[in-house]
Amino acid sequence: MKMSFDDEARAEREHYDRLSLEEMHALIHERRFGRTGMFWQSLRARATLLTSAWVLLELLEQRSIGRDARTNAASVLLDLADCHDWSPEALADDADPEFESRLRELRRWVNERLRKTI
């Protein structure tokens, strides 16, 4: 029997919520984000800038990763950094001529925020 999207999303969220942040980071490196978006919601609920910023920045810099995954990663990272200077879509659009400079600025922003938390 095929699961409804809502049932699949609920099951995915429960699965991801049981994983440690280290296991979630491993899934990012493996490019395994699930099918329903619950991966990102689970990460957003538990991650901090200190625990996850570098993993998310690395993902954003990988042009070989799909735009949807990069947009979701950017959304989580911007939320963790309390940064409202860019949209997640702007940080995922590698066809935009400003893409590289935005990522450099975001990296600086994250560095500044991390220095304040340590």
pLDDT tens-digit readout, 62-111: 989 999 999 999 999 999 999 999 999 999 998 999 999 999 999 999 99
Per domain, the residue ranges of the chain are 5-117
Within 10 angstroms of residue 61's Cβ, the number of other Cβ atoms is: 15
Local structure of residue 3 (DSSP, 8 states): P
> Given pLDDT bands bounded at 50, 70 and 90, which one contains residue 117?
confident
pTM for this predicted structure: 0.91
Measured at the CA of 57, the angle between CA 48 and CA 40, to 5 degrees, comes to: 55
- Dist CA 32 CA 43 (whole Å): 13
Q: Tokens representing 13?
A: 């969220």
CB 12 within 8 A of CB 35: yes
For residue 118, is pLDDT > 70?
no
- pLDDT, one tens digit per residue, over 30-55 is 999 999 999 999 999 999 999 999 99
Position 22, amino acid: E
